[in-house]
Structure 1
Amino acid sequence: MSSSLSNLELFHDPSYPTLSGRFRSMRPKVLVHRLNRSWKLSKKVKEITRAGKLKREMQVKNMKLYVMNKIIVEENERLRRKAMTLLQENKILLAQFQKFPHPDSNTIKY
C-alpha cells in the first residue's frame, strides 16, 4: 500500500488544492476572472441583441402604422370625393324641386 501512496504523491499536481487545503491554486481565480469577463461580454451581447431586436420590432410597428395611416388617408380622400358628389347632387335636386310649385302653397293662405 505504501508504494501506491508514493505513486499518488508523485503525480499530485500542486495547482489543484488537496484535501488538507495547504496548496492554494491560482487557476480557479483565473477561471473565475474568465467567467466574469465572459459573463460581462455575454451580458453586453444580450443587451446589444435586445436593442437590435427592439429596433426591429419598432421598425415593424412603424411600418404597420404607416400602412394603416396610408389606408386611412386614402379612405378619407375617397369619402371626401363621395361627399362632394353627394353635395352636388343635393344642390341639383334642390334646384329641380324649387322649379315645381307646391300644390298646397296656392290653396292655403294665412
Structure 2
Amino acid sequence: MSYNMSTVDDFAVLLEATEVMKQVLKSLKEEPAHLLGDICREYQRTGQSVPDHHLHFVGYMGEATLKALLSAGLIRQQPGGRLSLYSYEPTPEGLEQYERLKAGGFYKK
C-alpha cells in the first residue's frame, strides 16, 4: 500500500489535538501495564496461570476512534433508526479531510 504519509500525518495532528485522543494515547501506554499487573498479582497469589474470565478489560479503546472523530468535528451524531441507537454523518470538515486523505493515496489498496 502506497500513499502520501504527510496527508495522514496532517490528519493525525488534527485528531491528536483533541482531549479524546490525548486520553487514547495515554491509555495505549497505561492499559497494558495495568493488565500485566493484574495478571502478575494473581499469578503470584495462586501460582497458576490466570484464566481470561478473571481479567478485567476496562479502558478507553472501544469507542475511542468514534469519539475522536466527533470531538474533532469531523462527524456528526444523529438519532438512530429502528435498529440503531445512533447514526453518523460526515461534517463538511470531515468530507474535506476524507478527500485530502483520498487524494494522498491513503484509501488505495
**TM-score bracket for the superposition, by shorter chain length:** under 0.3
Larger Rg: 1 or 2?
1
Q: Which is richer in strand?
A: 2
Relative contact order (C-alpha < 8 Å, sep 6+): which is higher? 2
Query: If the length of structure 2 is used for normalisation, what is the TM-score?
Result: 0.27
